[in-house]
Structure 1
Amino acid sequence: MELKPDVAARTDAAPHWRAAAPDRVPELGSLRHTEPATWLLARLGGLLGGGGRIKLLEIMGRSGGLFWRYAPLAVRLVPGSKLTRVDCELATLRTAWLVGARYEWHHHVYAARFSGLSLETVERVAAGPEDPGWSEPQRLLLRAVDELHSGRMILDDTWTGLSAHLTPAQRVDLCMLVGHYDMLAMLLKTHGIEPEPEMWRRGPLRWVRDSASGDGLTPGGLPRFNKAVTNRLVGPSAGKIPPYSVIHHSGRKSGRPFRTPVLAAHRGNLLIVPLLYGDRSDWVRNVLAANGGEVTHRRRTREFTSPRVLDAAGAATLPAPATLFTRLLKILVADLDPS
């Protein structure tokens, strides 16, 4: 199956990627030069990611038990970080971009999907803290990463702003996280380690690469099945019994009226819809084009306006259902008519 270009492929053209020639370690991956347990873990991880191996583990395995002593620190700084998952991944991606470590960037472009970041948000990380799509806390976070990279310290103005959003423990972890990935970049680039061929293109997690799905999680044929079968079964009770609501919208070209049952949460005057099929569904494109529509929930129909598609970065300040959904999905959020 032909794979469509994704963010990592588009950013490959950036001029600042740099690594030594890979022939510096021609025997990389040889069991004879790698600590056996680390070699085995590298191969198991490669099966999961689809690249057959994890070169970072192989290069660490050349130094005896280094990886096993390094691993507790990595676990504490990444999955165990005091930072939120979104902030942790934004800081990691920005560091990988700044240090020009293609290996780190490639892996975290896809790992970011497990923190709820869309491919569009990942691409904005490369644009930097002044991109208009960031919230003020996120802008300050990325600016702090830039300052740690360029001057090895967060400057006073950024520190003051950041202190309003991050706890003392989170500010410690931010510094350590940036230093951690800077250190790894030195190892990777010096040894000429480039991304594994076919990594994330194969294996059970290959969906993280798919830029054509609109970040949906379901198989490509499921929306058509649901339109033909499931919606007809759910339709009679949708809009009457939670968690289903009905979105009323009009075709972008035909103007024909449609009604689409969706799983939805209503919090105050916010409509929150997890986009299981991504943001390419017809009803999503219809309400975005019309800048609104109507929704029926518990037999009550209300207008909604200002629909927007958000990922975990965009939903960071929204109520709990939104942040829960965006762990893996994009969501559509709209303002409900209070009347």
Structure 2
Amino acid sequence: MARIEPAARPYEVDMEATLEKLMPPGVEPLVLFRTLARSPRVFRRFMAGGLLDKGSVTLREREIVIDRACARCGGEYEWGVHIALFAEKAGFGAEEIAATVAPGEADCWTPREKLLIRLVDELHDTAHVSDALWSELTSEFSGEQLIELVVLTGLYHMVSFTVNALRLEPEAYAARFPA
């Protein structure tokens, strides 16, 4: 049971327009968005921090980081939304989807993708990146990409903390963690 009821229509005029832009036509805004809309200032700041645009890393790399960060935090709500909306576009099959949740580095990942898993895991476990891992990362990723990857990991820790603390119910179409 959600701890805070999502906002319901009618929304404030500017909030209605903002929420409408976030979703495909005819699709109800995410429970997360509608819940955060109860605090317009927080909602706007939250949305300003998004990195779902075309960034310096590929869609697949972005989704590996997001899905792994959410999985490590137990953020099933957000993990499920990303799997439902982006897994196919990122080229994930069942093995990759399961590997975002499984401990360790799965064989389905390329060596470069395994570095992403290690980055997220190390940040999650220690809130740092060791010199050894950083050295490996810099052989594969530019400084711009590394900034984006670290910030993505942090942003999706924040999203996971939010959805977990507010106990948001999964979206009807969202994936669920593998058993």
Secondary structure at 1:153's aligned position in 2?
coil
User: Match of 2:111?
Assistant: 136
TM-score under structure 2 normalisation?
0.83
Residue of structure 1 in register with 2:49 after alignment: 73
- How much has 1:47 moved relative to structure 2? 6.0
Change (3 A) 1:35 1:185: farther
Kindly indicate whether the alpha-carbon contact (under 8 Å) linking 2:83 and 2:174 is maintained by their aligned counterparts in 1.
Answer: no
Equivalent residue, structure 2, for 1:38: 15
Give distance in 2, aligned partners of 1:60 and 1:165: 37
TM-score relative to the length of structure 1: 0.46
Asked if 1:88 is matched to 2:66, the reply is no
Alignment check: 8 A CA contact 1:42 1:53 kept: yes
CA distance in 1, matches of 2:113, 2:13: 41
Change (3 A) 1:39 1:99: farther
The answer to whether the 8 Å contact 2:7/2:38 transfers is no
Distance of aligned partners of 1:103 and 1:200 in 2 relative to their CA distance in 1, 3 Å threshold: closer
1:186 and 2:178 are equivalent in the alignment:
no
Is the alpha carbon distance of 1:169 and 1:66 closer, same or farther for their aligned partners in structure 2, counting shifts above 3 Å?
Answer: same
How far the C-alpha of 1:46 sits from its partner, in A, is 7.5
Distance 2:110 2:91 in 1: 16
Query: Using CA pairs below 8 Å that are at least 6 residues apart, which structure has the higher relative contact order?
Result: 2
CA deviation map 1:192-237 (0-9, x unaligned): 11212x3269xxxxxxxxxxxxxxxxxxxxxxxxxxxxxxxxxxxx
Q: Which has the larger radius of gyration?
A: 1
For 1:199, the equivalent position in structure 2 comes to 173
Q: 1:132 to 1:114 in 2, by over 3 A?
A: closer
Q: Match for 2:36: what amino acid?
A: M
Offset of 1:44 from its aligned partner?
7.6
| Aligned positions, number | 174
**In the aligned structure 2, how far is the partner of 1:45 from the partner of 1:178?**
23
Q: State the one-letter code of the partner of 1:45.
A: M
Structure with the larger helix share: 2
Instruction: Go from structure 1 to structure 2 and tell me whether the alpha carbon gap of 1:175 and 1:92 turns closer, same or farther (over 3 Å shift).
Output: same
Q: What letter is aligned with 2:152?
A: L
Gapped regions of structure 1 (runs ≥ 5): 1-20, 202-339
1:105 alignment partner in structure 2: 79
- Decide whether the 8 Å contact of 1:35 with 1:64 is kept in 2: no
Structure 2: give runs of 5+ residues left out of the alignment: none
Q: Which has a greater percent of strand?
A: 1
Q: What is the percentage of aligned positions where both structures have the same residue? A: 26
